[in-house]
C-alpha cells in the first residue's frame, strides 16, 4: 500500500476527476497513475506534489506540512468514507440524481476547489512546531496535537522546540541534542527550566528566585554552577515544559 497513492486517489475522488483526466493533466500514463493509487508502483514525493498540483491543490500549507507528515498522520480511509457520505447527503437533500463524471468535473472546476479535506483536518488537530538551535535557527520540526486551539495551553504559533547545544543541563536530565518544548513566558518562574537569551545565544538554565529583584541561574554538568542576575536584566525566551530525548 502507498500512502502517497492514497492521498492522490482521495484528492482525485474528492474533485470528481477520472484517472484518465488527471493523467492527462500531469503528463503521465493512466496506468502509471492507477498503479500508484493501487500501491503497486512507488512514487517520489516531488512527483506526487506535481500530480496534486495538476488537480488544482493549492500549496498554501506547504510550509506547515510535508506530504510525509500528512501520509503518516491522516486516516485516509476514514477521510474517503466521509467524502462519500457527505456527497451522498448533499445529493439526497437536493433531490439530485447521481451526476455524470463530466458534470462532476465541470462542477468542481467551476467552483475552483482549493485546499484539501486531509490538509484541513490535519491543520485543525496538529501543529508543525519548529526546532531551533542556540542561535534560533530552524533545524527541523515536530508535529504536536492541538487541543482546544492550543498546544500545551499556549497559542500554537508561539511554541517551539529548542535543541540543547551542550551538556550544561545534564544534571537536570537535559543532555546535548535533547529537545525541550518551550512555551511563552515573560517573567522568571521559580524552580523552572527556562530558555534565557545570552550574548552568545540562547541557553537553558534552572531558575531560582532570590527576591523580587534577583534570580539565581543554575547549570549542572560535572558540578552545579550558579550566577546571580537582576530580573530587569534577564531576557527570557520562554519556559521549558517538555523534554524529548533520544535513547
Query: Which CATH number covers residue 58?
Result: 1.10.260.40
pLDDT tens-digit series, residues 52-90: 888 876 554 444 556 566 555 555 455 555 545 555 665
Last residue of a domain, one of 71, 90, 115: 115
Bridge partners (DSSP) of residue 140 are: 131
Residues 152 and 92 in one domain: no
Report the C-alpha gap between 133 and 137 in whole angstroms.
Answer: 6
Closest CA to 21 of 99, 101, 89, 95: 101
Q: Are residues 72 and 135 in the same domain?
A: no
Domain membership flag for residue 120: no
Assess whether pLDDT exceeds 70 at residue 106.
Answer: no
**Number of folded domains that form the chain:** 2
d(CA 11, CA 113): 11
Please tell me the predicted confidence (pLDDT) of residue 144: 87
> Does 121 fall in a domain?
no
Same domain, 100 and 144: no
In this structure, the answer to whether residues 96 and 71 fall within a common structural domain is yes
* C-alpha to C-alpha distance for 38 and 119, rounded to whole angstroms: 21
CATH number at residue 227: 2.10.109.10
Q: State whether 106 and 188 are in the same domain.
A: no
**pLDDT digit string (tens) for 84-103?**
555 566 556 556 555 544 44
> Do 165 and 109 share a structural domain?
no
Tell me: do 66 and 143 sit in the same domain.
no
Q: Is residue 95 part of a domain?
A: yes
Give, for 194, the enclosing helix (H) or strand (E). strand 193-198
Straight-line distance from the first to the last Cα atom of the chain, in angstroms, rounded to the nearest whole number = 30
Residue 126's pLDDT is 79
Sheet holding 193-198, edge to edge: 138-145, 126-132, 160-163, 179-183, 236-244, 193-198, 201-209, 214-220, 224-230
Residues near 88 by beta carbon (within 8 Å), at least 6 away in sequence? none
pLDDT in tens, 175-225: 999 999 999 998 999 999 999 999 889 999 999 999 999 999 999 998 999
**Residues 139 and 233 occupy one common structural domain:** yes
Rounded CA-CA distance 196/190 in Å is: 14
pLDDT surpassing 60 at residue 33: yes
Beta pairing class for 214-220 and 224-230: antiparallel
The predicted structure's pLDDT at residue 96: 54
> Residue 98 and residue 14: Cα distance in Å, rounded?
15
Per the model's pLDDT, the better-predicted residue between 182 and 149 turns out to be 182
Structural domain includes residue 123 = no
Among 115, 150, 180, the domain boundary falls at 115
For residue 148, pLDDT over 50 is answered with yes
Q: How far is CA 232 from the centre of its chain?
A: 35
CA distance 145 to 73: 11
Statement: residue 28 has pLDDT above 70 = yes
Q: Which domain holds residue 226?
A: 129-244
Quick one: pLDDT at residue 49?
81
48 in a structural domain:
yes
Answer whether residue 172 shows pLDDT above 50: yes
Residues facing residue 138 across a β-bridge: 132
- Structure confidence at residue 8 as a pLDDT band (50, 70, 90): confident
Whole-prediction pTM: 0.60
**pLDDT bracket for residue 51 (50, 70, 90):** confident
In this structure, what DSSP letter does residue 147 have? B
Please check whether residue 11 lies inside any domain of the structure.
yes
Query: Do 134 and 226 share a structural domain?
Result: yes
Model confidence at 45, pLDDT cuts 50, 70, 90, reads: confident
Does residue 193 fall inside a structural domain?
A: yes
Q: Is there a single domain that holds both residue 56 and residue 137? A: no
Question: What's the angle, vertex CA 80, arms to CA 74 and CA 85, rounded to 5?
Answer: 130
- Which pLDDT band holds residue 15 (cuts at 50, 70, 90)? confident
Amino acid at each position: 500500500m502507498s500512502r502517497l497513492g492514497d492521498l492522490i486517489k482521495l484528492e482525485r475522488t474528492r474533485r470528481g476527476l477520472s484517472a484518465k483526466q488527471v493523467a492527462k493533466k500531469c503528463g503521465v500514463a493512466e496506468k502509471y497513475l492507477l498503479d500508484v493509487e493501487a500501491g503497486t508502483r512507488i512514487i517520489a514525493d516531488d512527483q506526487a506534489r506535481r500530480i496534486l498540483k495538476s488537480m488544482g491543490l493549492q500549496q498554501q500549507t506547504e510550509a506547515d506540512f510535508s506530504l510525509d507528515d500528512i501520509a503518516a498522520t491522516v486516516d485516509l480511509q476514514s477521510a474517503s468514507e466521509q467524502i462519500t457520505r457527505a456527497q451522498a447527503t448533499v445529493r439526497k437533500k437536493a433531490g439530485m440524481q447521481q451526476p455524470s463524471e463530466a458534470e462532476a468535473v465541470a462542477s468542481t472546476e467551476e467552483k475552483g476547489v482549493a485546499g484539501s479535506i486531509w490538509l484541513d483536518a490535519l491543520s485543525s488537530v496538529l501543529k508543525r512546531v519548529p526546532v531551533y538551535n542556540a542561535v534560533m535557527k530552524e533545524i527541523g520540526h515536530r508535529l504536536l496535537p492541538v487541543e482546544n486551539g492550543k498546544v500545551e495551553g499556549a497559542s500554537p504559533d508561539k511554541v517551539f522546540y529548542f535543541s540543547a547545544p551542550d551538556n550544561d543541563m545534564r544534571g537536570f536530565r537535559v543532555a546535548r541534542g535533547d529537545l525541550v518544548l518551550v512555551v511563552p513566558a515573560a517573567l522568571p518562574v521559580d524552580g523552572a527550566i527556562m530558555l534565557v537569551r545570552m550574548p552568545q545565544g540562547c541557553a537553558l538554565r534552572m531558575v531560582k528566585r532570590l527576591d523580587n529583584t534577583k534570580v539565581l541561574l543554575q547549570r549542572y554538568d560535572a558540578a552545579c554552577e550558579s550566577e546571580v542576575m537582576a530580573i530587569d536584566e534577564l531576557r527570557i525566551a520562554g519556559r521549558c515544559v517538555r523534554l524529548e530525548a533520544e535513547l
